[in-house]
């Protein structure tokens, strides 16, 4: 679940990308980063670490909500994530965007790609397992494809991608146990998690149409976006919940990990991966996240896993992969 990312999806790259969450998590187009010096740590190891961090993010949310209100979890996540990026921004002597227009568009991006989906996931995990939230997150490419079919994005739907869309939503119905009337699944929590996944492609489309051609670095744009999301949550949270009366240690540590690792450090990892191996390879991390989220929920939180959950998750991932695929060139 990402939380932040500096890549593009399988689309071409043309503009610096603000921060987005994990999950499918690859945002709209961003210029291929300049060739970065090769890291001392092999990219495959960093890829695996990124998948683990984003996969465990749903577990961190669940643990965080066991001690704090959902909005406190999200606000804490944003504070610690912003702190990481701000520290790197200062260390690299980069600067924040300077134009009011850029900040205004980033404010909308912050709402659609951070504040709103992160809050929805936190609220959803009050009533649904972290495993289900992780699987719902994997539907983001499907929502993106659905929006393109509805002519809300520039991507032209193809038969292959429409088939992937249908297959993916069949997987969602399988996960939810549609044949048994969704028994055992909280509808509101599930809809909130699916709504969070829908926020991402809407945000990506908005960013592509408003921030293309920005001269600011991806780090600068993402840092500003996280700052704005933190401010939005700081303003809204007091209206919906009171200050914590106690500070349980384990949930607090989960929130710190969710922010510093899942939102801040994960962005830096993915940005490095995009620079080294390209966005197409880097975005493959998306397909490992629900697997890790499911394994973590079952192993650590002892969440129940019926047969239809992993089967449906595999169908969702197959559909998502199909929507992102391209026919082989005959040339």
pLDDT per 10-residue tile (average), the chain, 331 residues: 40 45 40 52 88 94 97 97 96 94 96 97 95 88 78 64 80 74 76 94 90 87 95 97 93 97 91 80 79 88 83 83 66 46
Give the per-residue pLDDT at 21: 47
CA atoms within 13 A on the CB side of 41: 10
Give the per-residue pLDDT at 286: 77
Question: Rounded distance, CA 301 to CA 280, Å?
Answer: 33
Please give the C-alpha separations between residue 81 and each of 101, 205, 245, 260, in angstroms, as whole numbers. Answer: 24, 24, 24, 5
Give the per-residue pLDDT at 4: 44
Give the per-residue pLDDT at 326: 65
Give the per-residue pLDDT at 183: 60
- Tell me, letter by letter, the H, E, C secondary structure of 167-228: HHHHHHHHHHCHHHCCCCCCHHHHHHHHHHHHHHHHHHHHHHHHCCCCCCCHHHHHHHHHHH
Give the per-residue pLDDT at 234: 97
Query: In a 3-state reduction of DSSP, which class is residue 205?
Result: helix
Give the per-residue pLDDT at 2: 44
> Would you say the pTM of this structure is higher than 0.85?
no
Give the per-residue pLDDT at 38: 60
Give the per-residue pLDDT at 225: 95
């Amino acid at each position: 679940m990402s939380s932040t990312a500096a890549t593009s999806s399988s689309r071409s790259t043309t503009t610096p990308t603000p921060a987005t969450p994990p999950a499918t998590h690859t945002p709209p187009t961003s210029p291929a980063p300049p060739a970065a010096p090769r890291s001392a740590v092999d990219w495959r190891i960093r890829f695996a670490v990124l998948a683990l961090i984003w996969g465990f993010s749903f577990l961190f949310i669940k643990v965080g909500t066991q001690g704090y209100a959902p909005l406190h979890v999200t606000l804490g996540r944003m504070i610690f994530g912003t702190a990481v990026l701000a520290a790197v921004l200062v260390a690299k002597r980069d600067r924040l965007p300077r134009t009011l227009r850029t900040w205004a568009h980033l404010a909308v991006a912050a709402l659609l790609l951070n504040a709103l989906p992160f809050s929805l996931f936190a609220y959803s995990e009050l009533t649904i397992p972290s495993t289900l939230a992780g699987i719902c997150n994997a539907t983001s490419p499907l929502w993106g494809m659905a929006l393109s079919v509805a002519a809300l994005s520039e991507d032209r739907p193809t038969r292959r991608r429409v088939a992937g869309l249908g297959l993916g939503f069949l997987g969602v119905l399988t996960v939810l146990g549609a044949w048994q009337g969704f028994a055992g699944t909280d509808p509101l929590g599930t809809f909130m998690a699916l709504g969070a996944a829908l926020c991402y492609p809407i945000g990506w489309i908005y960013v592509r149409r408003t921030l293309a051609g920005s001269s600011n670095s991806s780090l600068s744009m993402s840092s500003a976006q996280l700052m704005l999301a933190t401010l939005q949550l700081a303003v809204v949270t007091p209206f919906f919940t009171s200050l914590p009366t106690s500070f349980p240690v384990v949930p607090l540590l989960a929130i710190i990990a969710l922010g510093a690792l899942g939102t801040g450090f994960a962005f830096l990892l993915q940005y490095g991966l995009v620079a080294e191996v390209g966005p197409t390879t880097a975005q493959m991390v998306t397909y490992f996240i629900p697997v890790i989220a499911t394994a973590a929920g079952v192993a650590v939180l002892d969440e129940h896993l019926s047969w239809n959950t992993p089967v449906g998750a595999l169908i969702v991932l197959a559909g998502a992969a199909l929507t992102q695929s391209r026919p082989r060139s005959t040339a």
